[in-house]
Structure 1
Amino acid sequence: MGPGFYVIAILGCADGSAGCTPVATLSTRYESRQACLAATPAALNENGDFDYPTLYAQCRPAKAPAAERAPRPAPQGTLQG
């Protein structure tokens, strides 16, 4: 089973594909890798204002925000002080 959703990361590269640095992670979540990949050209066009000679858009698996994760059960036992 794969991740719950994907996000698009924008990478800025100083020298072609070498030395790329993440410059933004977009907040839109995609339920499949295919949907994410289909959205990357538009995302790159809308987020191309970073000062790098080359920009790439990359789909990455994302973790659910803390509020959306299942709560952890309380630890068993007692605290001793």
Structure 2
Amino acid sequence: MGPVTYVLAIMGCADGGAACQQVALAPARYESVAACQAASGDVLASSTDFDFPTLLARCRTAKEQAAIERKPAPRGRAVKQG
């Protein structure tokens, strides 16, 4: 098994956190979950161009993120990546 890398997904939430959708993915990759979590505050602070009352940051392994990206988005919802 190779090294695990982490990505930071920005989630937009309309209801305070229960029903969120991924709106962006930070461009950096992190070598540990601790490094990913440490970067989340700065990434959220710079994520001001999304029209959601609540934004959250979620650290995921690159493998988890790839699996999420392979799933089709629910109808009626656009998912912005980038």
**Same fold, TM-score > 0.5, yes or no:** yes
SS of equivalent residue, structure 2 residue 19: strand
Q: Deviations over 1:37-69 (max 9, x none)?
A: 000000001113200000001111003xxxxxx
Runs of 4+ in 1 over 4 A off after TM superposition: none
Cα distance in 1 for residues equivalent to 2:42 and 2:7 = 13
User: Higher Cα Rg: structure 1 or 2?
Assistant: 1
Query: Which one has a larger percent strand, Structure 1 or Structure 2?
Result: 1
- Amino-acid identity (%): 57
* Count of residue pairs the alignment pairs up: 63
TM (norm. structure 1) is 0.71
Cα distance in 2 for residues equivalent to 1:60 and 1:17 = 17
Does the aligned pair in 2 maintain the 1:48–1:55 contact within 8 Å?
no
Unaligned runs of 5+ in 1: 64-81
Query: Which one has a larger percent helix, Structure 1 or Structure 2?
Result: 2
TM (norm. structure 2) is 0.70
Cα distance in 2 for residues equivalent to 1:17 and 1:47 = 16
